[in-house]
Structure 1
Amino acid sequence: MPIAPGKLSDPAVRAFVTAVNAHDRDAFLALLTPDATMSDDGSDRDLEEWIDKEIFDVGGHMDVQNESHGGRGLLVTYRNDTWGEMRTSWRFDVCDDGRISRFETGQA
């Protein structure tokens, strides 16, 4: 049974999942540091290009199945209009100011 976004342990990760599921690109970007980076399946990607292609232009949605590492590691059933549904892992680096400086995702 998925974990409701509001029940996630880490506030930054909770806001990240909430922004993705609400398709709120502005709220999503506000959660990131100006120099935030990300990777997909082990390869660094252009963050803004990737989030449009994989999340915001294609109805991305995260159903969190499990969390670890104090809420900064997630096992997610992720779906979008391009790829359908897949099991993915997510890991987040969160700065002292509560913003995300890096996230990594990939198939689980």
Structure 2
Amino acid sequence: MTETLALLLVAAAGPAVAAVRAAVLAVAACAAVVLAPIVRYGLDYPAALVPVAALAWGAAVALGLILRDADARHRRELERIRTEDRLQLARDLHDLVAHHVTGIVVRTRAAQALAEQR
């Protein structure tokens, strides 16, 4: 009953409180779920260690998800930087080509103007 009450408390209060308080409630609920059977039955009762194994498994999954999210954010940031670099190179190339084409047009017009005068 204690474990269920602790989990219901976290589930009900989680969205309504700040992130830090929700994290504290989640840790307290995990502690209640893990420690209640151990306190109630002792370490000699094998079923009391199941929540400990579940907590270790959950911690491993959480760590894996955190690392996966960090890797995904890192990849998105690298892609954003690459895209910005490509756009800057494209702008520079466009400016360079436009400058040269403008020079070619000016020379062509000048040559046409000279040819008409002769």
TM-score by shorter chain over 0.5: no
User: Hey, which of these two has a bigger chunk of strand by percent?
Assistant: 1
User: Hey, which of these two has a bigger chunk of helix by percent?
Assistant: 2
Pair member with larger Rg: 2
Query: Which structure's relative contact order is higher, taking Cα pairs within 8 Å and 6+ residues apart?
Result: 1
